[in-house]
Amino acid sequence: MLRLLPILMSAVITAAAASSAHAVALDPLTGQPYHIGEDVQPRANPIKREVVAFAGKYAPGTIVVSTAERRMYLVMEDGKALRYGVGVGRPGFEWGGSLNVTQKREWPDWRPPAEMLQRRPDLPRYMKGGPENPLGARALYLGSTLYRIHGSNEPETIGQAVSSGCIRMMNEDVVDLYERVKIGARVVVLR
């Protein structure tokens, strides 16, 4: 009987998963929801956030994005910064400069801009905020531009040049940044 126990347990787990194909569970590594039966592999962050030494002339609270490194630094006191992995604009969509955070949104809705819809007419015209939304768990809007620092549930894009100019972060990282940054914070994007 003891030899049959692993086989019986496997059958019970398989049956439970099949009967709950539309159920939602939380990823144990990220805390993000996923649909059971569609994506049962935990999504680990490819680039861990960490406090690092930072030698720069930026005031604490400034966000510095190094597109070459594909890293973001939230400047702290005493020559330190909190470093995050990010996805940046792909070739032809790179940009640089200094802007300020003008808005912050939790689980933002997404309306692709007209320029994006011209390139990708297959995109929806509107998507309500939530786990499937490309803007992820949080968004920080930059100036009066179309650019944002936002979440992503696609860990494979972090550390890559893949976006249409926005700065992508893992959802757990953008939630952390969102809690630390105030509206008006300076964002410097270095090319």
Q: Where are the domains of the chain?
A: 5-35, 50-190
CA distance 63 to 99: 10
Gyration radius of the chain over CA positions: 20
What is the pLDDT, as a whole number, of residue 188?
98
Query: Which is catalytic among the residues 49, 71, 150, 168?
Result: 150
SS3 24: strand
Mean pLDDT confidence for 80-88: 98
What is the pLDDT, as a whole number, of residue 56?
87
- Considering 13-17, 31-35, 93-97, the range whose residues carry the highest mean pLDDT is 93-97
What is the pLDDT, as a whole number, of residue 150?
97
Query: Which is catalytic among the residues 166, 170, 175, 187?
Result: 166
What is the pLDDT, as a whole number, of residue 45?
60
SS3 1: coil
| Amino acid letter, residue 6 | P
- Does residue 148 surpass a pLDDT of 70? yes
User: Comparing 80 with 22, which gets the higher pLDDT?
Assistant: 80
Q: Tell me if residue 35 is catalytic.
A: no
Question: Do residues 64 and 190 touch, judged by C-beta distance below 8 A?
Answer: yes
CATH architecture observed for domain 50-190: Beta Barrel (2.40)
CA distance 42 to 33: 10
Each residue's pLDDT tens digit, 47-81: 899 999 999 899 999 999 999 999 999 999 999 99
Residue 44 pLDDT grade (very low, low, confident, very high; cuts 50, 70, 90): low
Mean pLDDT confidence for 116-137: 92
- Does residue 140 surpass a pLDDT of 80? yes
Q: Tell me if residue 22 is catalytic.
A: no
CA distance 150 to 139: 4
CA distance 138 to 121: 25
- CA dihedral 19→20→22→28, nearest 10 degrees, is -150
For the chain, what is the mean pLDDT?
A: 83
